[in-house]
Amino acid sequence: MKIVSVHTTLLKAPLKTPFVTALRRVEALEDLVVVITCDNGMIGYGEGAPTPQITGETIGSIQAAIDYITPHLLNRSLDDFEHLIWIVHQTIVKNTTAKSALEIALYDLKAQAAQQPLYRMLGGTQTKFCTDITISMNPTEVMIADAQKALSLGYDTLKIKIGESPKADAERTLAIAKALPSHITLRLDANQGWSAKESVLLLQQLEAEGIVAEFIEQPVPADDTEGLKYIRQRVKTPILADESVFSLKDAKTLLEMEAVDYLNIKLAKTGGISQALALADLAKSYDVKCMIGCMLEGPISVAAGVHVASARANTITMLDLDAVALLASHPAHSDIVFDESHIALGDAVGLGVRL
């Protein structure tokens, strides 16, 4: 079974409401879908979301990287799967979203050829999951209303986007926490918005009010690994690294430093499924739990994240895979059930998602 074509198409869908963080504002999904076809007619799908503020990639650069890698994949056998993955990663450096899109499509094909759902081929058994939902950064009263709406839809874990300024962030977090029932789990995501000292002061202020979030995600710039350690030594709130972790090397540095409590795995950062699995295995060796997250992505790449979560369920204990729930319409056919906070994998072979 040989690869005969690799082509791309755009995946577009409006969002229910604008997605707003300390780094960007997005009003509609526009991702690049990779379609890999084999000589027996089998088709694999992958997806990549442009996040220039995080990975440095745009639709144009993702397309260019895929075009550059494609000739090295054509006419090669799927049976030589490990070499195909090697080609994706060694033909070009960086470009992690482009690599992820290609990897997802290749894994989809491999699982189809094995006549198994991808998660089962990867050794997973868990099929039902719960995810949080993101509350975008807005005026406090809007965020409270959005949080209360999320509760009415069945969510009990909310990820609050902050990172505008420590003073404003402390005020809005306090107001949101006081407006919600005590059983609701809060996750805070500053998207690199603060300095280490600002982070400590803000978190200690919240903790003095009895608010200890499940974690604070990436409070400082991505390259400030010492800042993460500084914060962790001075607050009760657990630290989750996101933008600081792209590679196994990044993760090992943080784990050796004991700078964080958790790692956030995203396929668009690791370069796809193979390295996401390896990162989870590395975290397990340090007895550190992980969250699997997503960019603002569609159902193809989010589905891949769920399959990975099943494959490493003992280590990946938290899900931030709400991107499909943020869409006003679903731009793909899926065997996977995305029902607000609940996600259920099906028995379809491969990824279980198609255009």
**pLDDT tens sequence across 147-180:** 999 999 999 999 999 999 999 999 999 999 999 9
Q: Which residue, 59, 94, 115, sits at the end of a domain? A: 115
Q: Which residues pair with 20 in a beta bridge?
A: 25
**Are residues 146 and 233 both part of a single domain?**
yes
Q: Which of 235, 173, 224 is nearest to 194 (CA)?
A: 224
Q: Show the DSSP H helices in the chain as ranges.
A: 59-73, 81-90, 96-113, 118-121, 140-152, 166-179, 196-208, 225-232, 248-257, 267-270, 273-285, 299-311
pTM of the model: 0.97
**Are residues 178 and 296 both part of a single domain?**
yes
| Residue 144 structural domain | 120-354
Beta carbons within 10 angstroms of residue 82's beta carbon: 8
Tokens of 180: 């919600």
Given a cut of 70, the residues of the chain with pLDDT beneath it are: none
Active site residue 161: yes
The residue from 94, 161, 178, 252 that is catalytic is 161
**Are residues 243 and 324 both part of a single domain?**
yes
Q: Which residue, 88, 115, 142, sits at the end of a domain? A: 115
- At 174 the pLDDT is 97
Element (H, E) at 319: strand 316-320
**Contact criterion met (CB below 8 Å) for 76 and 2:** yes
**Are residues 163 and 133 both part of a single domain?**
yes
The residue from 99, 110, 266, 269 that is catalytic is 266
Integer Cα distance of 295 and 268 in angstroms: 7
**Are residues 94 and 168 both part of a single domain?**
no
Burial of 55 (0-12, 13-18, 19+ CB in 10 A): buried
CATH classification of the domain holding 74: 3.30.390.10
- At 187 the pLDDT is 98
The total number of structural domains in the chain stands at 2
